Structure 1
Amino acid sequence: MLWIALINKMGTGLWMGAAALYFTLVTGLSVAEVGLLLGVSGAVGIAGAPLAGHLADRFPVTRILIGAQLQQAVALLALLTTDNFALLLLYSAVNSLADRGANVLTKLYAARIAGPDRTRYQAVQRTVSNAGWAVGGLAGACALALGTTHAYHALLLGNVVSFLAAAALTLRCAEPPSPSRVVTASTAAAPEAAAVIEAASAPGAPTASNPWRDRSFLLFTLTEAALFLDDAVLQVGIPLWIVHATDAPHGLAPLLMVLNCVLVVCCQVPLSRFGSTPERARALLVPLAACFVVGCAALTASAFGGTGLAVAALTVAAIALTFAEILHAIASWELSIALAPGDAQGAYLGVHGLSSSAQRSGGPLLVTAVIAAGPLAWPVLGAGVIVTVAAQSRLVRKRLDRRVAGASQAPAGHAVGAPPAV
């Protein structure tokens, strides 16, 4: 699966940096149409996470992931066939739906295949993904230097090929055991074929947990959407802040993105050991908030000085926010798995996936509003993150305490997963 992540993100890195330019320069859409297309397709994609999670509790996760990869390949290939806005919007929305679903399925596969080592596995996978992004982005930048229609088509086709290659490799992956299904080898001669028996179909089986009725998990997901803001600040906020509020050279923006990738590649795996249990993951919320606040303070400082101070402050901001991103990735990964009942793990992770999807839609709007408000708005954003972290920490502590209490009261031999929905 690590090779699949590398190939997938290399293809995504090729295309994502060129997507807006492709719609503007090749298909002839206006800036307003491009913004509408990206916004609407992103909003449609929000539904992909819970849908994929729901399906993964009922069918083999590898087969659903292959379907999502092929859906992305077909949707992207269809972009080459038209310059009609309505069709481009349709194809982009179909791609976005599969993209958000594939993210949840990849996370679920890692949780099931790695077991107790899931935190380290996810850290390695995230490191590989960032390396793929960097390689794909650099290759895409070289192609964009040509600026021809054929160059843009080549980048799009490169992404299509990456999804087809990823699907072919996923086909060879073993299906991991699932808490909501029993998987047995059908024959010794064909171990890759599995008979999947739905646990829910057994007579007298209890109704599976429902994340939409689990108020504490929904509140956890809501706080997660706020903690994903480091992504919007790094990718949208810092470049716009450099241009509109500081004396730093504009060329600093891509360099800070490279610095972000390098830090994630170097630090994600070593730091993952600090979030190997739910309790340790919860403890990471404090340094996460501290890093975010330092980043916001540095962004404020970058607006009050010359070029040298601006460059130094922006570099500090990028480093601090990158470590906030790394720590949140570790904590979010472990806690989302730990708080999900085994009988509906896919459904819960699908709902949790709404947090990153919502941030992708609303995060840039919030960050641009902060930029418009001026330098002193950054500390206000940092204070909001502190409040969010405090609320999430308290919520997680209560839920983990209930789980421990439930385990101590359970009859001998009775497996207790996550706490009951409240």
Structure 2
Amino acid sequence: MSRTTRPARTLPGPRTPFKDRVPGGADGRRMLLVGFIDKCGTGLWSTAMALYFTYVTGLGLGQVGLLVALSGAAGIAGAPLGGRLADRFPLVRVIICAQLLRAAALLALLTTDHYLLLVLFSAAGALPDRATNVLTKLYAARVAGPERVRYQAINRTTANIGWTLGGLGAAAALAVGSTTAFQLLLVGDALSYLVMAALTLRCAEPPTPASRVAASTGTGTAPATTPPSPWRDRSFLAFTAGEGVFFLHDSILQVALPLWIVHATDAPVGLAPLLLVANSALVVLFQVPLSRFGATTDAARRLLAPLAVLFAVGTLAVCASALGGRTLAVTALITAAVALTFAEMIHTIASWEISVALAPDDAQGAYLGVHGLAQSTQRFAGPLLMTGLVSAGPFAWPFLGAALVATAAAQNRLVRRRLSGSSLSVAKVTVSEN
């Protein structure tokens, strides 16, 4: 009787669930680490920036406000400039140059207390800072392919954790309150950019959509055509304008709610930082799970309907918080913060996917750069709009909610028409294709 030889059992290797769940392979994970370090450093510096200019360089309140406003206005140009450069030069090199410029501009602040130079250096740092947002999004789109929404969700989660850690580090340094402590925070942020540049240098250049098309056709080269300009694409410009309205959720949560709590409600002042903490915690917990609802472009478009509902609930709750009584105020403000945080998460999912899908392959960087204007402009104009809204009283909030709902409806129609091909002048192959 012959004996059957059983195949040798292979022991399972070590489990690496994190590696398995992160799109983009080793380069994707490395770029996530870069984003985490970025937010750690930014959390260190941004928390103390106004105090640095006040106590170290001796600027007055009005001078600090003007400096921040001017640097923010200069930074608006960073997004389209970064996108344009990414279409012409290797993306990894452009990202490294942006990181090095951010470090140089920040360290330059240590060399002077002259107001005009401080404004110049701050503006010079705002340009690559805003460009980096577009460049990292473009890298994610290219390295993660069809899983770009999940990748960006993981990136945003790690970024929130990094920001929190940086803020805690800044709080510890600010407790000391010395000039050296402020300067160390600035140097720490600058060093984070140098570490990021070293890590990015190890990342491979991701394939461009044009190279994917060339590989699929077997020609080895992409067709020689003139890339379309986003500035002449009226439907894409309209989409970007709508995005600028949606990005107001940042200013509502970070600027309007704290001011509203103090000036218009009976809620305790200490509720304001707690709502911001809750915002970060909810993003960490739910951003990645929610990303599965926007895995395709059409699914992302359908998210605009619940987005409108969340905006309506959030703005109406803020209005209700001013109707009297501490219990009502606290309950309404918590409701508003939760609704607006989920609106923020759903909008970012839809925005990531739709903006990439609407960008032609041979001008992806330029299109995403123009799309980046939505967030950059909101960072500049949003706080001004929110302070005016708080001054206008409780019944201004329903009008804001109605504007957000109307924008969602308009965006839904625009994107549906665009995806159907009626607004496209070129054949569409998105980076989600392999």
Same fold (TM over 0.5): yes
Alpha-carbon distance in structure 1 between the residues aligned to 2:55 and 2:221: 52
Per-residue CA shift, 1:345-386, capped at 9, x if unaligned?
A: 000000000000011111111111110100110111000001
Equivalent residue for 1:69?
99
Secondary structure of 1:57's partner?
A: helix
The alignment of Structure 1 onto Structure 2 pairs a total of residues equal to 395
CA contact (8 A) 1:211 1:348 kept: yes
Equivalent residue for 2:144?
114
Equivalent residue for 1:45?
75
CA contact (8 A) 1:69 1:163 kept: yes
Equivalent residue for 1:391?
410
Equivalent residue for 2:372?
353
Per-residue CA shift, 1:65-90, capped at 9, x if unaligned?
A: 00000100011111111111100000
CA contact (8 A) 2:417 2:423 kept: no
Equivalent residue for 1:125?
155
CA contact (8 A) 2:304 2:412 kept: yes
Moved more, 220-229 or 136-145: 136-145
Per-residue CA shift, 1:270-291, capped at 9, x if unaligned?
A: 0000001111101101111111
Equivalent residue for 1:256?
275
Flag the 1:183–1:147 CA change in 2: closer, same or farther, 3 A.
farther
Alpha-carbon distance in structure 1 between the residues aligned to 2:404 and 2:93: 38
Task: Identify which of 315, 323, 327 aligns with 2:346.
Answer: 327
What is the alpha-carbon root mean square deviation over aligned residues? 1.9
Per-residue CA shift, 1:303-342, capped at 9, x if unaligned?
A: 1222222222111111111000000000000000000000
Give 1:248's aligned amino acid.
A
Per-residue CA shift, 1:162-191, capped at 9, x if unaligned?
A: 11111110000111001245899xxxxxxx
Q: How far off its partner does 1:403 sit?
A: 6.6
CA contact (8 A) 1:58 1:181 kept: no
Q: Is 1:307 aligned to 2:326, yes or no?
A: yes
Moved more, 157-166 or 137-146: 137-146
Equivalent residue for 1:187?
none
Q: Is 1:104 aligned to 2:116, yes or no?
A: no
CA contact (8 A) 1:211 1:217 kept: yes
Q: How far off its partner does 1:219 sit?
A: 0.5
Secondary structure of 1:80's partner?
A: helix
Secondary structure of 1:250's partner?
A: coil
Equivalent residue for 2:294?
275
Alpha-carbon distance in structure 1 between the residues aligned to 2:424 and 2:359: 16
CA contact (8 A) 2:418 2:424 kept: no
CA contact (8 A) 1:182 1:199 kept: no
Alpha-carbon distance in structure 2 between the residues aligned to 1:141 and 1:297: 34
Alpha-carbon distance in structure 1 between the residues aligned to 2:311 and 2:95: 34
Task: Identify which of 390, 403, 428 aligns with 1:416.
Answer: 428
Task: Identify which of 155, 160, 181 aligns with 2:190.
Answer: 160
Equivalent residue for 1:410?
none
Q: Is 1:32 aligned to 2:44, yes or no?
A: no
Alpha-carbon distance in structure 2 between the residues aligned to 1:256 and 1:142: 21
CA contact (8 A) 2:254 2:276 kept: yes
CA contact (8 A) 1:9 1:129 kept: yes
Secondary structure of 2:176's partner?
A: coil
CA contact (8 A) 1:302 1:310 kept: yes
Q: Is 1:235 aligned to 2:254, yes or no?
A: yes
Q: Is 1:179 aligned to 2:198, yes or no?
A: no
Any gaps of 5 or more consecutive residues in structure 1? 185-197, 408-414
Alpha-carbon distance in structure 1 between the residues aligned to 2:79 and 2:254: 22
Secondary structure of 2:88's partner?
A: coil
Task: Identify which of 409, 419, 424 aligns with 1:400.
Answer: 419
CA contact (8 A) 2:103 2:193 kept: yes
Give 1:344's aligned amino acid.
A
Secondary structure of 1:67's partner?
A: helix
Q: How far off its partner does 1:134 sit?
A: 0.9
Alpha-carbon distance in structure 2 between the residues aligned to 1:199 and 1:20: 50
Moved more, 237-246 or 263-272: 237-246
Overall identity of the aligned pairs, in %:
62
CA contact (8 A) 1:229 1:363 kept: yes
Please identify the structure whose Cα radius of gyration is greater.
2
CA contact (8 A) 1:268 1:326 kept: yes
Per-residue CA shift, 1:195-253, capped at 9, x if unaligned?
A: xxx968x7xx1111111110100000000000000000001011111111112222221
CA contact (8 A) 1:282 1:331 kept: yes
Secondary structure of 2:420's partner?
A: helix
Alpha-carbon distance in structure 2 between the residues aligned to 1:231 and 1:389: 17
Secondary structure of 2:209's partner?
A: coil
Alpha-carbon distance in structure 2 between the residues aligned to 1:245 and 1:105: 40
Alpha-carbon distance in structure 2 between the residues aligned to 1:241 and 1:148: 32
Alpha-carbon distance in structure 1 between the residues aligned to 2:83 and 2:406: 29
Alpha-carbon distance in structure 1 between the residues aligned to 2:320 and 2:143: 45
Equivalent residue for 2:400?
381
Q: TM-score, normalised by structure 2?
A: 0.88
Alpha-carbon distance in structure 2 between the residues aligned to 1:405 and 1:355: 22
CA contact (8 A) 1:177 1:183 kept: no
CA contact (8 A) 1:232 1:364 kept: yes
Any gaps of 5 or more consecutive residues in structure 2? 1-30, 215-219
Task: Identify which of 380, 384, 391 aligns with 1:372.
Answer: 391
Alpha-carbon distance in structure 1 between the residues aligned to 2:332 and 2:221: 55
Per-residue CA shift, 1:92-114, capped at 9, x if unaligned?
A: 00110010001100000000000
Give 1:417's aligned amino acid.
V
Flag the 1:96–1:199 CA change in 2: closer, same or farther, 3 A.
farther
